[in-house]
Amino acid sequence: MSQDLSIVQLVLHASFVVQAVMLLLLLVSISSWAAIFSKLFSLKRVKVLNENFERDFWSGANLNNLYAVASQNARTCGPMERIFASGMREYQKLRERHITDTGTLLDGARRAMRASLQREMDVVETNLSFLASVGSVSPYVGLFGTVWGIMHAFTGLASLQQVTLATVAPGIAEALVATAIGLFAAIPAVVAYNRFARDIDRVAIMLESFIEEFSNILQRNVGTQSASGH
């Protein structure tokens, strides 16, 4: 009896539809774990790159030198450095056009940084919706497999004269495995989604704070240059 009701035997003896549901959920679970580890490493990398650039930025380094480095390392640098580069690029373009109005210079730089922020957040949030979908849909897919398996089990029992627990149990157990696999796929995805959503919110707050702080620095620079020009 214990051999007949082992997990492997239950999967092998399940109906074709239930086996297909199990296979689908297994593939989804593998994809979910791959997305979790990929996001874990990418968020750690983003955090390290942002902290390194923030340390260099506040160490008193020349803005033009930082911009030159950021332009050269555009593909490998972090989100904060790319946002800084986009703001500096727009600021310098406006200065080259001999625009001296403080409001115009700051608005242009801030718009460029906001657009860059949106692009960076889109990249950071990659696979987050997939994890949310896995967490919300997998239990229902597993439940569908369970319902189908139970229907199939009772249909097979209809021709029997005498039904006992021993005849009912294997079919129901086979069906319940689908729900178990659905929960196995959903629970890690939900936990990871909540963790990553919190970490991404922190990244967004850090980047938005940097935009405001850098805008203040640009405003002071414009004021200093205007005073020296007069």
Give the tens place of pLDDT for each residue, 87-101: 999 998 988 887 777
The confidence band for 230, taking pLDDT boundaries of 50, 70 and 90, is: very low
63 compared with 37, residue with greater pLDDT: 37
| DSSP letter for each residue of 99-122 | ---HHHHHHHHHHHHHHHHHHHHH
What value does the mean pLDDT take over residues 56-79? 88
Task: Give the residue, 40 or 223, on which the prediction is more confident.
Answer: 40
pLDDT value at position 97?
85
Contact 149, 14 (CB under 8 A): yes
101 phi/psi in degrees, rounded to 5: -65, 125
pLDDT of residue 226: 52
Cα-Cα-Cα-Cα dihedral sign, residues 64, 69, 75, 81: negative
**Model pLDDT for residues 101-158, shown as the tens digit of each residue:** 778 888 999 999 999 999 999 999 999 999 999 999 999 999 998 888 888 777 766 6
- Asked if residues 114 and 208 have their Cβ atoms less than 8 Å apart, the reply is no
Give the Cα separation of 170 and 163 in Å (integer): 12
Q: Per-residue confidence at 63, pLDDT binned at 50, 70, 90?
A: confident
- Which of 109-113, 126-130, 163-167, 224-228 shows the lowest per-residue confidence on average (mean pLDDT)? 224-228
Q: Provide the pLDDT confidence category of residue 164 given band limits of 50, 70 and 90.
A: low
End-to-end CA distance of the chain: 95
CB 202 within 8 A of CB 46: no
Using H for helix, E for strand and C for coil, what is the string for 192-205?
HHHHHHHHHHHHHH
| pLDDT at residue 148, as a whole number | 85
Write down the residue that tokens 């707050």 correspond to: 205
Closest CA to 151 of 180, 184, 178, 189: 178
pLDDT at 64 over 60: yes
pLDDT grade for 210, boundaries at 50, 70 and 90? very high
Q: What pLDDT is attached to residue 2?
A: 43
The pLDDT-based confidence of 178 (bands split at 50, 70, 90) is: confident
Least confident among 62-66, 160-164, 183-187, 213-217: 160-164
